[in-house]
Amino acid sequence: MTPTAIVTGAGQGFGLALTVALARRGTTVVACARDADRLRGALAGVPGVRALPGDVTDPRFRAELAAAAGDRLDLLVHNAGELGPSPLPRLADYPLDALRGVLETTVLAPLGLTRETLPALRAAGGTVVTLSSDAAVEAYEGWGGYGAAKAALDHLAAVLGVEEPGLRVYAFDPGDMRTAMHQRAFPGEDISDRPEPETVVPALLRLLSDRPPSGRYTAAALRVAS
């Protein structure tokens, strides 16, 4: 049976690189992103990928994603996220409406989509991956909003792993990457020293292949272990 995956935030960056890598390994991928033109353009000609534009904060779209994946889902990757204002504000100056948007995209939407797909994940004994960050475990000036959201997502993943022992649930920290979001975090700075997302994908693929116990894993540690 052909494995099936959902990858959110698949129009660029790590989500796009992962989608292409999974498709090349024979996985049928339902790939979503908000920007329809970017998503379809990036994935045009990639076999085994269904591009489904939409916003994961919309409950109706989450239901559409779950339906597109079918009755068995081997892998759900919560890659979509929201950085928040740029330049990154200190907490004393953080607009609360902006923080609500960060939490909605980074925490509530992944929980909602996981709930929609749980029956299919259980049927396949599947895997859930949430994209983490070192900002979830370290205190960096300006990263309070994004870091708090990622810390909350880490904890949701940890609890889901306990509550769903038949699944594997991983919080995966890819480390710094050369992405549009990372550039927004450092406006005007040169981030060309950061690795391309394609170079980080093998670490996650190894995690998926090895299937260790549910938990939080970093790309750096997985590379060292290899």
Summarised one tens digit per residue, pLDDT across range 124-181 is 999 999 999 999 999 999 999 999 999 999 999 999 999 999 999 999 999 888 887 8
Catalytic, out of 94, 140, 146, 217: 146
Q: CA 28 to CA 15: how far, in whole Å?
A: 15
Q: Topology of domain 4-225, per CATH?
A: Rossmann fold (3.40.50)
Over residues 84-102, the pLDDT tens digits come to: 999 999 999 999 999 999 9
Percentage of the chain beyond pLDDT 90 is 88
Q: Cβ(4)–Cβ(72) under 8 Å?
A: yes
Residue 150 confidence (pLDDT): 98
Strands (E), the chain: 4-7, 28-31, 49-51, 75-78, 127-131, 168-173, 215-218
Domain ranges within the chain, ordered by starting residue = 4-225
User: Which residues contact residue 16 at a Cβ distance below 8 angstroms, ignoring those fewer than 6 apart?
Assistant: 10, 42, 43, 197
- Identify the band that residue 31 occupies on the pLDDT scale cut at 50, 70 and 90: very high
State yes or no: is 94 an active-site residue: no
Residue with tokens 């099936």: 4
